[in-house]
Every structure is written in structure tokens, then in C-alpha cells.
Chains A and B, each alone.
Chain A
Amino acid sequence: MTEREADAILVERVQRGDKQAFDLLVRKYQRKILRLLSRLIRDPVEVEDVAQEAFIKAYRALPGFRGESAFYTWLYRIAVNTAKNHLAASKRRPSGGPSYENEDGETFDETANLSDIQTPEAVMASREIATTVNAAIEALPDELRTAIMLREIEGLSYEEIAQSMGCPIGTVRSRIFRAREAIAARLRPLLDTADDRRW
């Protein structure tokens, strides 16, 4: 099952009336959408408002989503169009770069530096998160670090990782999980993970 197929499972659940499944999609893609919009709109508060509007539009339009494209590509277009409408309504030009018209969310420039429109507090928090994740990765045993890097950086399947590391798929699954949990344990104190934060 690919990531696209995993998203399709959540989309189908939303289409059957499971609003909670949409929450999972939001949690998965909210950072990407916020980053995308922060390149088009300067005001961080407006970025959040437009992101919220885009997610709501996506939720309303989801019954008509047939899966011809990946969910994120579809969501990406909704977000860009929402930003365009927002800017047109306020008669401003987007602050985005040359990738503004890029409809393929997967090829969006992933290597750009943090946008300078973030607040100083947000920049500090971002640095702290990045530092914590990197430190946690460095502290992992080799087999856990290799497994999660092959998965997250190289995008290999469990089967491919198993072949690469010469171990069973079940071991790969366990190693990736343990790596994630080890990093998450260091990360959680930095995050607002109160259970009542979401609906």
C-alpha cells in the first residue's frame, strides 16, 4: 500500500461521514500547507486564516474527490486558489517565488530556508524542534537510525529496507517504530499535545 493509497483510505472514511478521519489528514498536511501559504501571503495570521479556509473548502469538496490525483496535490491546488482569491480580494500580489504556479505539490521546493515572515518565537520553536529531532537521530542505535532514514529520506518500502539491511520485514517495521518512539519521546515536551486540543 502506497502513501497515496493510505490517504485514499482516510478520504473514503471521510466520504462515509467520518469527520475524525479528516482530522488525520489535516494533522498530516497542515505544516506543508502552512508553509506553502506563508510563501504567498506575508502576514502569519492571514496565512493561518487562509489555511483554515482551504481545509474547510477541501472538507466540503471531499464528497466530489474521486482520487484522480493524489490527495495532497488536490489539497495543494485548493490552498493555492484560496490564497489567490484572498489576495485578489485584498488587491495584493502574492509574495511567492517562481514555484507559485506549480500545481504539483510533490515537486515543491523542499530545500528552501525558513521563510522570514515567521515570528521570532516561531523561528525559535522551529529551530528547537529541528535540533531535537537531529539530536535524537544521532543518539539512535545504528540499526534504528538506518531503518528510519531509509524510510523517511529515501522513501523505501519495508520490503526494500529489509533487503537492504538483510533482515525480515517484521524487524524493519519494529525498528522504524522504535526509532519514531525514541525521537517522539524527546519531541513531546516541546509540543502542545493536550488531548483536548482537537475535536
Chain B
Amino acid sequence: MSAVQSRQFSQAIPTSELTEQLSAFLDGEADAPEWLDTPQAKEHWETYHLIGDVLRTADLARPVSARFAAGLEAALRAEPTVLAPRSRPIARFVRRYAVPGVSLMVLVVAVSWLAQPLINPLGPSHGVQASVPPQDVYAANAPRREPEFADYYDVHRHVAGMSGATQVDYAPTRD
């Protein structure tokens, strides 16, 4: 850096308080200073990082060539400004946790409902029947034949045959 450039930099240098905030921001110990986008801040930023890199490993004590800096600068200037869609914390939470959670719950309920006949093919009351004395099973499973539906049952059994009738009324009757 030439002497003129050094003098220009010194004159433009911000107060030490602001520079100290930049130093702390670099360490993740302070908020970003207002002047972060200025050339002075960037010079401090780069120099501070170079110091840290060199202290950790001499391998990183490499200067960045003017060719690389100028080429990257020109290339980035030519790039359109990128913009990411705004992502609010609530929307992010909903997208990340709520939607998959609800989907999983719906899936579990659906699978449980569909698998119900396979798990308990005799119906929900079958387990209860197992504890009932055998002599009472028929009584428990006996169809509640309301008198007004008797004709309907008979016609249905006649039309569907025994297998169809069994599906409707699987428990043997005593009559």
C-alpha cells in the first residue's frame, strides 16, 4: 500500500469504539455495526481475519492477488442481486415441524383404521367375548332381532344366501 493510500485510510478510520464493535462482531460477541458496508470496515474485517488465520496456521498467510480480487469483484458486479423468499419464524416452524407432524398423525390414523379388520377380524367386541362364559356367548352375540325387522332379515338371507347372511349376522342364532 502506498503512503498516500495509508494516509487516506487513516483519515477515514472510524472511531475506536466503532472499530472495537466490529472486532467483537467478528468474534460473534456483538451485533453488526452500522458501518459494516463501508470500505473501511471491510479493510478492518479482512485484516482481522488474516491475523486470526495466520495465528492459527502459517499456511493461511497467503496474500490474495489483485487479479483474483478484481476478477471476483467484476464477476459479482455482473451478477443480479439474489433475493431469497422471506421466511418468517412461525412459517418456518409450521413448515419444519407442524406440517410433517400432522401428516404423520393422519397417516397413523389412516393406517390404524385400514388395518383394523386385519388386527381384529371378528370385530371390536370379540375380545370382550373371550372372557364371557361359553354358554353366554350365544346370548351375547344373538342378534337383536327387532320384530319389525324380522321380515327384512328373512328376505335378505333368502336373496344373499348363507354367506351373505353370515356377513351381516355372523353369530349363530338359537332359533
Contact = CB atoms under 8 A, between A and B. Distances in A.
Interface of A: 1-3, 5-6, 9, 14-24, 26-28, 30-32, 34-35, 48-49, 51-52, 55-56, 59-60, 62-64, 110-114, 118, 122, 125-127, 129-130, 133, 137, 148-149, 151-153, 157-158, 173-174, 176-177, 180-181, 183-184, 187-199
A181 B29 CA distance: 17
Q: Which of B32, B39, B59 has the most CB of A within 10 A?
A: B59
The 7 tightest CB contacts between A and B, nearest first, are A15-B84, A63-B84, A130-B61, A1-B28, A195-B39, A177-B23, A27-B46
B56 interface: yes
Given A27-B46, A51-B68, A110-B59, A152 B76 contact: no
Nearest to B82: A63
Contacts of A62: 82, 84
B51 A180 contact: yes
A8 B79 CA distance: 21
Given A52-B72, A114-B59, A193 B47 contact: yes
Interface in B50-77: 50-73, 75-77
A152 B23 contact: no
Given A3-B28, A15-B84, A48-B65, A28 B59 contact: no
Interface string B1-22: 1000110110010001001100
Interface of B: 1, 5-6, 8-9, 12, 16, 19-20, 23-30, 32, 36-37, 39-40, 42-73, 75-77, 79, 81-85
A110 B59 CA distance: 7
Given A52-B68, A177-B20, A19 B81 contact: yes
Contacts of A16: 83-84
A93 B28 CA distance: 39
B76 A22 contact: yes
Contact of B82 (A6, A51, A59, A113): A59
A48 B67 contact: yes
Given A173-B20, A173-B24, A191 B29 contact: no
